[in-house]
Amino acid sequence: MVELKHFNDISAVTNAQKAQILMDALPNIKKYNGKIVVIKYGGNAMINEDLRQSVMADIVLLNLIGVKVVLVHGGGPHIKEMLNKIGLESKFLNGLRVTDAATMKIVQMVLAGQVNKDLVNLIGSLGGDAIGLCGLDDQMIKVRKQDDALGYVGKIVDVDVEIIRDNLDKGYIPVISTIGTDTQGQSYNINADTAAAVIAGALNAECMLNMTDIDGVLEDKEKPDTLIRTMTLTQAEELKKRGIIAGGMLPKVQCCTDAIQAGVKRVFIINGTVPHAILIELLTEEGLGTMFIGHYSVVGH
C-alpha cells in the first residue's frame, strides 16, 4: 500500500503511485458514500491558514465523493482576540469559558458571524456548497443553564436535526456554530466538543472526527509511538482508572464515548495539525489517530 501521509510533496509521487492511492481509497469511499460524517473543528487547524485550507479542501472532496459532511466548529482563539480588543478578560472554570452577558454578545457575534461565515465562504471558494447555521436557527439546539458560576454556558437538552438533514439532502455542507437557546430565547455558549457529540448522535452519524492538537490517546504521553489505535468504551474506563486518560484528555475522551453511546458507529481523535488528516483517517487503512468503538465487531479505520 502507498502511504499517503508520507508524501508531503505530491510532485514526488509517480503516476502509478497516485493511481494506487486512489485504488486503495476505493473501499473506504464506498463505506462512507451516502453516510453522515460529523467533524468537530478547532485548535491550531482553525487559526493556521495553511491548515485551515487543508481541512476545508478535505471536506469539499468528501462532499464531492458523496459523503454527507457536517462541520461543527468552536472559535476560542477568535473569541479571546475580540475580548482582548475591547478590554474584557477571558475567565475559565473547569475548562469552560465563564460567559457573562457582555461576553455572550461577543461569543455570538464571533462564532455565528465572523468564524461561521468565513468558513462557509472558504468552502465556497474551494468549490463546495456550504450553508452556515447556529443552534439559534429554528431553535435547533435547546439548552438550560449549566451552572450559575459559568453564567451563560448551556447544557444541551434537545437537538432538532431536521434543518441539518434538509440541507444535507440538498447537497449542502452544514457549518454549525455552537450557540444554543433556552425556552425564554436567551442565547448560551456551548462547548463545541459536547455539541458535536450530541449532534452526531442525533443524526445517527456513521462516524465523528474530533480534530485536536494531539495524535490521540497515548499509553505514555511522552512517547508518540505508544498511540492506542482502537479503543472500546470498556477500555476507555479502564484507562481512566489507571490514570492514563487524565487531565485535558478526559473531556476529549468523554466527548468521544458520549457520541458512541448516542449511536455513532466510530469516533476518532485525530491531530488536526497534520495536513489532510481527515482524508488520511477516513480513506486509508492505516488511519491516523485513536478510534473509539462500542465493541470489536466494528473494525477498521
**For the segment 12-54, what is each residue's pLDDT rounded down to a tens digit?**
567 777 677 778 888 888 999 999 999 999 877 888 899 999 9
pTM of structure: 0.90
Side-chain half-sphere CA neighbours of 204 within 13 A? 3
Please indicate whether residue 68 is annotated as part of the active site.
no
**For the segment 45-93, what is each residue's pLDDT rounded down to a tens digit?**
888 899 999 999 999 999 999 999 999 999 988 999 999 999 988 888 8
Assigned C-alpha cell, 56: 476545508
Please indicate whether residue 193 is annotated as part of the active site.
yes
- Confidence at residue 13, expressed as pLDDT on a 0 to 100 scale: 62
The active-site residue, picked from 76, 154, 201, 289, is 76
- Confidence at residue 299, expressed as pLDDT on a 0 to 100 scale: 53
Please indicate whether residue 66 is annotated as part of the active site.
no
Please indicate whether residue 43 is annotated as part of the active site.
yes
The active-site residue, picked from 58, 68, 137, 193, is 193
- CATH 3.40.50.720, domain 28-293, yes or no: no
Residue type, 123: I
> What is the Cα gyration radius of the chain?
19
Helix count and strand count (H, E) for the chain: 11, 14
**For the segment 255-296, what is each residue's pLDDT rounded down to a tens digit?**
899 999 999 999 999 998 999 999 999 998 878 899 999 876
- Confidence at residue 162, expressed as pLDDT on a 0 to 100 scale: 96
CB-based contact 110:78 (threshold 8 Å): yes
The DSSP secondary structure of 142-184, one letter per residue, reads EEEE--GGGBSBEEEEEE--HHHHHHHHTT-EEEEE-EEE-TT
pLDDT tops 50 at residue 4: no
The active-site residue, picked from 40, 180, 215, 289, is 40
CB-based contact 49:79 (threshold 8 Å): no
CA dihedral 78, 82, 87, 88 (to 10 degrees): -60
SS (H, E, C) 48-59: CHHHHHHHHHHH
Determine the average pLDDT of the residues in 191-214: 94
Determine the average pLDDT of the residues in 137-153: 95
- End-to-end CA gap in the chain: 15
CB-based contact 219:226 (threshold 8 Å): yes
Please indicate whether residue 142 is annotated as part of the active site.
no
The partner residues of 133 in beta bridges, in order of sequence, read: 176
77-to-44, 47, 87, 128, 202 alpha-carbon distances in Å: 9, 8, 15, 25, 28
The active-site residue, picked from 132, 201, 252, 289, is 252
The structural domains of the chain, with segments of one domain joined by +, span 28-293
Distance CA 100, CA 106 (A): 10
